[in-house]
């Protein structure tokens, strides 16, 4: 969920950018959120897929950033191998 904190002019549009390392795929829908008033909320769906990397037992991290003129909302995305 993203809440609009921008005071206009309206509409305010936030565009998603995604950074994912090799072995991780991050998708978000929709890629653009449009707001017509202050404190309006919009929801979105994030899907994360990660492939096992041979010999690697660490953490993979990426990020989803929503950007509008004057504002950025950053969400880290972290994937780790669960212990067997």
Tell me how far apart the alpha carbons of residues 67 and 28 are, in angstroms, rounded to a whole number. 14
Q: Are 29 and 44 in contact (CB under 8 A)?
A: yes
Domain limits, the chain: 2-52+59-77
- Its pTM stands at 0.79
CATH number of this structure's domain 2-52+59-77: 2.60.40.2310
Burial class (CB in 10 A: 0-12, 13-18, 19+), 65: middle
- Examine the pLDDT at 46 and tell me if it is beyond 90: yes
> What is the per-residue pLDDT across 3-25, written as a single tens digit (0 to 9) for each?
888 777 889 899 999 999 888 89
């Amino acid at each position: 969920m993203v809440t609009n904190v921008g005071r206009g002019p309206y509409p305010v549009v936030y565009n998603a950018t995604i950074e994912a390392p090799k072995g991780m795929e991050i998708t978000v829908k929709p890629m653009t959120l449009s707001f017509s008033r202050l404190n309006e909320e919009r929801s979105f769906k994030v899907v994360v897929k990660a492939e096992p990397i041979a010999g690697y037992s660490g953490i993979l991290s990426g990020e989803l950033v929503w950007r509008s003129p004057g504002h950025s909302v950053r969400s880290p995305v972290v994937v780790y191998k669960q212990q067997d």
